Structure 1
Amino acid sequence: MSSLGFNEGSIVQEFGYDDDVAEEVRSAIEQSTGEELVDEDYGDIADGAIAWWRDDDGNVDDLADLFLDMKANLESDSAVCWLLVPGPREPGYVSAAVVEEAAETAGLMATTNVAASKDWIGIRLTATGARR
């Protein structure tokens, strides 16, 4: 399991937490940063963000709104930002086309995909035009 590229001391804001998330992903991030994840109501600057999203969480416009919420507290356009969606054979799977459309609406690009856990795929989001 990867820490998804978060560094020691990073404050990572989490969106969409529910009882179906991959706790091993959350634990790996907390272990690599040495910090607990902060929730979506966190009001200070964050170094990165993750969001859990399932097909029944809403439509493409709702997902774009989530991306804007994720960006709101980020310190810079180069902050590490991941969307976690159920894998293709899991309930709640979200197609790449939906993620890409929502990302474009929010000024982001879906870039790297990783198997974050057995049931969840991580999709890295990057600010449009940002250097990778």
Structure 2
Amino acid sequence: MEEGAGAELLDEACDEVVDVVLLWWRESDGDLGDALVDAVGPLAEDGVIWVLTPTSGREGHVEPSGIAEAVPAAALTQTSAIGVGENWSGIRLDFPQAAKAKR
């Protein structure tokens, strides 16, 4: 995407470099580690991944420990967490500073 261009949603078949991956994830969606490894492929070196999951008590909730266990598979670190509305929470994943220098 050109600098200054508007945001554009792309699907997982995209072969462009992206700044952000937004991944909605529920407990029954499979292996989060595999999904994160796939999501890292098109990510720019200063890009981030946001994993959105249902909040605690909602169907499909993913325990924070489940996310923490999946993150190393993609060589990412968890940098922050936010509430996204009343039914979803978000976890920001980023490349460690040392990994950014190597990419």
TM-score band, normalised by the shorter chain? 0.7 to 0.9
Please say if 1:80 is aligned against 2:48. yes
Structure 2 stretches lacking a partner, 5+ long: none
Q: Which residue of 2 aligns with 1:42?
A: 14
Distance across 1 between alignment mates of 2:96 and 2:36: 13
Q: Which residue of 2 aligns with 1:126?
A: 94
Q: CA RMSD in A?
A: 1.7
Q: How many residue pairs get matched?
A: 96
Distance across 2 between alignment mates of 1:87 and 1:111: 18
**Same amino acid, percent of matched pairs:** 34
Distance across 1 between alignment mates of 2:20 and 2:66: 22
Amino acid at match of 2:32: L
- TM-score scaled by structure 2? 0.83
The answer on whether the counterparts of 2:37 and 2:73 sit within 8 Å (CA) in structure 1 is no
- The structure 1 residue matched to 2:63, chosen from 95, 113, 127, is 95
Structure 1 runs (4+) deviating above 6 angstroms are: none
Higher strand proportion: 2
Q: Give the secondary structure class of the aligned counterpart of 1:37.
A: coil
Q: Which residue of 2 aligns with 1:65?
A: 34
Distance across 2 between alignment mates of 1:37 and 1:116: 19
Structure 1 stretches lacking a partner, 5+ long: 1-7, 10-33
